[in-house]
Amino acid sequence: MDLPAAVQAAIILLLDEEVKVKQPEVLAGARTMKPSTQKKHGANLAGGGRNGRASGTKGERAEKTREENEKMSPILRRTKIPRTFIPQLLGFASRSIKSFRFPGEPLDSSSITYGVHVFQCPDARGIVAKLSDCIASRGGNILGADVFVPENKEVFYSRSEFIFDYVKWPRAQMEEDFMKLSRSFNATRSVVRVPDLDPKYKIAVLASKQVLSGKFLRSYEKDVINIHHGLLPSFKGGFPSKQAFDAGVKLIGATSHFVTEELDSGPIIEQMVERVTHRDNLRSFIQKSENLEKQCLAKAIKSYCELRVLPYEHNKIVVF
């Protein structure tokens, strides 16, 4: 079995430590025995062979034990690891992360699933504690949490990932619990999503150079995400890539943002850049720019679907 060097070192330390600890304990016990008993068991306590012959006097053995104890660190002297623990450690190191489960749970964890909760409210004391208690009190376990409180702003943002048993914590009950928490902190946003139980997102991709009017955006009532290259405003008009290539641009980029009435001015979700060199021709220059736009749009949509995007101030957003 291939194990990391750190695990191998720990195993060697534990095995070696057991030998170091047990022998001094037995010898220490010999010093408290009665003389008659000590004489009877002298050969075994001295660590002799099968013929029971001792290897030195009692004083020499005690002095050797004292020297060995002094060489060991205080932590190692207190360590008592039975040999039966070593196979358990080897088994633990080879376990898959998917095999972990809650204490007391059956091996079949088919009812364990994953959820995400985002929260935005006026900043106050105890928000994180209440969020954690809301999940833990229902048997859930937080896998990760992000918190953001802007400087000089009384606003609290958080995003929590957790696992839970949907049999013990039904989806409707979860919604109600987070709603109570939302009301207690006057939250402006409290959204929970369980990908395995909730309806899937429906995403529409529109390839158009037309500007979406404010009337359309208000009637649509849903978020619209746009992607464009980063050559503007330096290179306007037709064939901006050729203009940039002819100008010897060394850095190209792409920006993904929410669509607003004002052209290309919505809150930015994601931006990416890539270098180009004198070795690029016009074709490779354009290819790099287009690939960058695809990657940037995909990252922005992924962040949006994973509830990582929260509105922040007038024209900014938080991206966890």
Q: Point out the residues that are catalytic.
A: 264
300 is written with which tokens? 């922005």
Which long-range contacts does 279-286 make (Cβ < 8 Å, 24+ apart)?
280/245, 282/241, 282/242, 282/245, 285/241, 285/244, 285/245, 285/252, 286/241
> Are 117 and 178 in contact, with CB atoms under 8 Å apart?
yes
Which of 176, 135, 137 lies closest to 158 in space, CA to CA? 135
